[in-house]
Amino acid sequence: MLNINHLKFGYKPKKTLFENVNLHLSAGHIYGLLGKNGAGKSSLLRMMCGLLFPKEGTIEAMGFMPMQRKPSFLQQVYFVPEEVELPHLQIKQFVKVNGAFYPAFNVEQFTLLLTEFEVNIDSHIKDLSYGQQKKVVIAFAIATNARLLLLDEPTNGLDIPSKAQLRKVLAGHINEDSCIIISTHQIRDLDSLIDSIIILDNGEIILNESTDRITEKLAFKVLNQETAAPILYAEPSLAGQLTVLENVNNEASKLDIELLFNAATVNKPELLRIFNN
């Protein structure tokens, strides 16, 4: 679905953001793209849809080179930026003008999604709050039925019920032919949805694994006593030490994505050893 090979990129000639990024993503999955502030998540999403161009290396998505921005590619990809900006139009006008660019756009689906998000389709965009405008863009993005959906911090600005709605609609949208990539810091908003995790750190991808493989290789535990198992990362909590351990005993545990992220960035060599074994 999406293949990135030896990607090099930077905004300034002497400052490289990505040195040698390699990433292979398959259809049928919802990926969570994680990284610290400034790690380059938004830049990477923009490159995947052809809004930014690699300095070196290649990006191939659905058989296209995004940087060529061919209409037949752009019809199948939709990027929702973190900060949405909509024209001052009626929602219906906005949909009429923009839906025409997407052959698989489904007006009934858009109307239904807006109803689920409790936004009146007869509204004028300028009369909507920021969160409501974000819902219009997300509903539009889903209704394009784009095979590749790129969402940058989609839950920012959404109220609590809408986050649950978003999880529901995204879970219903994914199929074996499409792929969703979500960049987020609000991982608890979406952790039940994401089935694969990508971690971007210091210009490289340090993890790209399914949640199943992560819990096969790592155990997430609250410990109140010492353990012989190798600890990758621990942090104190009122309940005890929240720990990430190498899962040497094949124990079942529930993935804690925040802990995983901290373990990955604090103890990268161990993480790489465990997953490359």
The nearest distance, CB 5 to ligand ATP, in angstroms, is 20
DSSP state of 12: B
Contacts 24+ apart (CB under 8 A), 155-164: 155/184, 155/186, 155/189, 155/190, 156/82, 156/186, 157/130, 157/131, 158/131, 158/134, 159/131, 162/117, 162/118, 162/131, 162/135, 163/189
| Near ligand ATP in 187-226, by CB under 6 A | none
Tokens of 42: 């938004």
Looking at the Cβ atoms of 156 and 211, the one nearer to ligand ATP is 156
Rounded CA separation 104/215 (Å): 37
Write the CB contacts of 90 (distance below 8 Å, at least 6 apart in sequence): 122, 123, 124, 125
Looking at the Cβ atoms of 9 and 110, the one nearer to ligand ATP is 9
Rounded CA separation 253/246 (Å): 12
The nearest distance, CB 187 to ligand ATP, in angstroms, is 12
Number of residues that bind ligand ATP (CB under 6 A): 10
Q: Does 13 bind ligand ATP (CB under 6 A)?
A: no
Looking at the Cβ atoms of 200 and 274, the one nearer to ligand ATP is 200
Angle at 194 between CA 173 and CA 205, to 5 degrees: 120
37, 62, 16, 30: which is closest to 204 by C-alpha?
16
Looking at the Cβ atoms of 43 and 144, the one nearer to ligand ATP is 43
Looking at the Cβ atoms of 41 and 134, the one nearer to ligand ATP is 41
Q: Does 11 bind ligand ATP (CB under 6 A)?
A: yes
Among 1, 17, 187, 264, binds ligand ATP (CB under 6 A): 17
216, 217, 246, 218: which is closest to 231 by C-alpha?
246
CA 139 to chain centre: 17
196, 235, 193, 189: which is closest to 215 by C-alpha?
196
187 phi and psi angles, rounded to 5 deg: -65, -30
The nearest distance, CB 38 to ligand ATP, in angstroms, is 4
Looking at the Cβ atoms of 25 and 198, the one nearer to ligand ATP is 198
The nearest distance, CB 163 to ligand ATP, in angstroms, is 19
The nearest distance, CB 37 to ligand ATP, in angstroms, is 3
The nearest distance, CB 10 to ligand ATP, in angstroms, is 8
The nearest distance, CB 11 to ligand ATP, in angstroms, is 3
| Near ligand ATP in 155-184, by CB under 6 A | none
Binding map of ligand ATP across residues 18-57, x = CB under 6 A, - = no contact: -----------------x-xxxxxxx--------------
Residues near ligand ATP (CB under 6 A) are 11, 17, 35, 37-43
